[in-house]
Structure 1
Amino acid sequence: MRPSLYEFAGGDEAFLALARAHHERCLADPLLNHPFSKQDMNPQHVERLAAYWAEVLGGPARFSEQLSDHSSMLRMHAGNGPGMLELGPRFVDCFVAAADDVGLPADPEFRAALRAYMEWAVADVNEFHESGASVPAGFGMPRWDWDGLVTSGRD
């Protein structure tokens, strides 16, 4: 049996490095910089992001048990308007480049699964891009594996 994507990546340390590198790339991007440089951003954003990605990709349920839930994550990103739709591909590109930056395994199936996850995640967030969008409470954590979406958390 294959290890989870979380295990294959290298566990918590790998996801923390990935979240840091991704955040740095987004700050350096002229279009993504604005949403990533907000003064009201949680000072633990990178750690929370790492825990979120780790859980979704097969790691421990640390995010959902100790920090928040999927509905709250979607709410945090909701209502930012149609301009956010244009940022999605840049966000995905930063994620893929950050995986290179931190030396995550170059295995083609692993990298394809990471990209596919992030493309799905961006689309999931963008479902609530309209101003005044309301995100229902109670969405469970999505789960993603080598073959793609296991559960959206809305099942």
Structure 2
Amino acid sequence: MGGRDAIRHLLQVFYAKVEKDDLLQPLFQHMPPDHHVHVAMWFEEVFGGEPLYTNDRGGFKNMIRKHRGRSIQAEQRERWVSLMMQSADEIELPSDPEFRSAFTAYIEWGSRRAMANSQPDAKPSKRDTVPRWGWGEAPPGTL
């Protein structure tokens, strides 16, 4: 994928798009200017890197709290995925089918979990740890 620098670049490019997007901007308008750095820490941990999000940002339960009550709608989730994939293409993340399949699977899975956890009637998650995404199969406990 390109390591920490590639992940941070991806999220910087992505959130620049979000700031200009009529559908997503309202969801993110109150995020701190370094929000992309925090999400990059999450992505790094999910994709097998250092546990920066867990160590510095409070881990999985904190991520869930960040989405509570936001009521993300299906159209917003779909736009989020679309802009993420556009950003991945724009910064030239690997285009081989194996990488893109695993990356896309996480983006889809994670965005659907965020949407579900953002609803007013969302049940508390039983998970305590940041998921670690594999490069060929879904990790245990993610289904």
TM-score calculated relative to the size of structure 2? 0.88
Percent same amino acid among aligned pairs? 29
**What whole-Å deviation, never above 9, does each CA across 1:3-38 have from its counterpart, x for those lacking one?**
xxxxxx110100000110111121222101111222
Question: Corresponding residue for 1:89?
Answer: 78
RMSD of aligned alpha carbons: 2.1
Q: CA deviation at 1:84?
A: 2.2
8 Å contact 2:98–2:135 — kept in the other structure? yes
TM-score calculated relative to the size of structure 1? 0.82
Pair 1:102 & 2:102 matched: no
Question: Corresponding residue for 2:57?
Answer: 67
8 Å contact 1:52–1:63 — kept in the other structure? yes
8 Å contact 2:19–2:28 — kept in the other structure? yes
Partner Cα distance (2:124, 2:32) in 1: 20
Question: Corresponding residue for 1:15?
Answer: 7
* Deviation beyond 4 Å, 4+ runs, structure 1: none
- The count of residues paired between Structure 1 and Structure 2 equals 143
Partner Cα distance (2:4, 2:97) in 1: 21
Partner Cα distance (1:119, 1:61) in 2: 22
Partner Cα distance (1:19, 1:86) in 2: 20
**What whole-Å deviation, never above 9, does each CA across 1:20-70 have from its counterpart, x for those lacking one?**
0111121222101111222xx233211111110011011111111122211
Gaps of 5+ in 1: 1-8
Judging by fraction of residues, say which structure has more strand: 1
8 Å contact 2:98–2:136 — kept in the other structure? no
Question: Corresponding residue for 2:48?
Answer: 58
Q: CA deviation at 1:118?
A: 0.6
Classify the secondary structure of the residue corresponding to 1:150.
Answer: coil
- Which amino acid is the alignment partner of residue 137 of structure 2? G
